Amino acid sequence: MKKALSPSFKQLKNYLYLLPALALAYLFSYRPFVKTLLNSLSIVNFSGNIVEFVGLENFINLFKDRNFQISLINTFKFAVMFIPLDVAFCLFAALLVYRKRRLTAFNETLFMLPMAVAMSSAALVFKAIFNPTIGVINYVFRLSIQWFDDPKWAMLTVVLLGVWMAIGLDFLLLLGALRSVPQQLIESAQLEGAGSVATFFKIQLPLISPTLLFVISTRLRDSMLLGGPVMVMTSGGPQRSTQTLVYQMYVEGFVANNYSKGSAISVVVFALTFFLILFAFRFEKRGVFYQ
């Protein structure tokens, strides 16, 4: 009897090892995802229970809502400013130091340092540096910009913080890619008279393009999920000029307790990020993954 039982018990044990991971995946990923989908199609009361199924009504109202349109536009505005700045800076920096010379190790370290700083610390420091009256930025550049009170400028401070936080990782990824371009290719091109600009566009850029596209698509996804820096630095203001999708979702969910609307925004964020992650994986060739 005991012998007959043991093989199936053994089989069961294999599943037991997977059980904690599966339970967590169900409890904190799949279940909330399905519930968010259902909530976005229903009217939900204050305690988070569904009252009535209303189909796509929440989405129709959402896209008519001026507030949501602003969030959507701001989120893309962030991405459009953040990604080119980030990529241009990191690519430029990587091109400066990819060939090992004196001081390159030191410079590399400087570019990587932002990785060691958490978002909320960085946001606090930026808030002080950009302070209009006592901040260093306005003084050094002889400006009198109200960085956090002028809707024209507030988004730029969030973008600059985003770039600063992204530099460490993106610089390293591009540096790694540039260093893996075979040196003979570059040398033979230069022997044939190609300048450094031609070498870059004809040889380096095509060869690092998978990494470059990977960086761009993951940063696009990150942009869709922008929320924390806005919370610490600007609280979505002034005049909603830095209000992003995730920030509005937070406000609808936790300040206004409007779960249907919050869930509908979540679904929009899911849809946007989903395609961008798929896009990122297409360019992911070396087993690099984001969390």
Partner 1 sequence: MRKKNVYKTVVATLLGLVVLFPIYYAFVASFFSLRDFTSPIPLLFPPQFSFHNYVRALTESLLPRFMVNSFIVSFFASLVRMGVAVLAAFSVVFFRFRGRNFLFFVIIATMMLPGDALIIENYLTVSRMGLLDTYAGIMSVYLLAPVQLFMLRQGFKTIPLTYREVAAVDGCSDIRFLWSVVLPLSKSIVMTLWLHSFVTMWNLYLWPLLVTNKTHMRTVQVGITMLGYAESLDYGPTFAAVSLLIAPSLLIFLLLRKGIVAGITKGTIVG
User: Which positions from 30 through 89 interact with partner 1, judged by CB under 8 A?
Assistant: 30-33, 35-36, 39, 48, 89
Q: In the complex, what is the shortest distance from the CB of residue 152 to partner 1, in angstroms, rounded to a whole number? A: 23
Rounded Cα distance between 113 and 12, Å, is 48
Contact status: 262 vs partner 1 (CB under 8 A): yes
Contact status: 131 vs partner 1 (CB under 8 A): yes
Q: Which two tokens stand for residue 235?
A: 């609280």
Find the binder of partner 1 among 50, 54, 117, 213 (CB under 8 A). 117
**From 79-87, 141-149, 166-174, 197-205, span contacting partner 1 (CB under 8 A):** 166-174
Contact status: 20 vs partner 1 (CB under 8 A): yes
Minimum CB distance to partner 1 smaller for 205 or for 277: 277
**From 74-82, 149-157, 202-210, 273-281, span contacting partner 1 (CB under 8 A):** 273-281
Find the binder of partner 1 among 91, 167, 203, 208 (CB under 8 A). 167
Contact status: 270 vs partner 1 (CB under 8 A): yes
Find the binder of partner 1 among 104, 153, 185, 194 (CB under 8 A). 104
Binding mask 200-219 for partner 1 (x = CB under 8 A): --------------------
The distance from CA 146 to its chain's CA centroid, rounded to whole angstroms, is 26
Which of the residues 219 through 248 are near partner 1 (CB under 8 A)? 221, 225, 227-228, 231-232, 246
Minimum CB distance to partner 1 smaller for 61 or for 258: 258
CA neighbor of 248 nearest in space, from 234, 233, 266, 232: 266
Rounded Cα distance between 170 and 176, Å, is 10
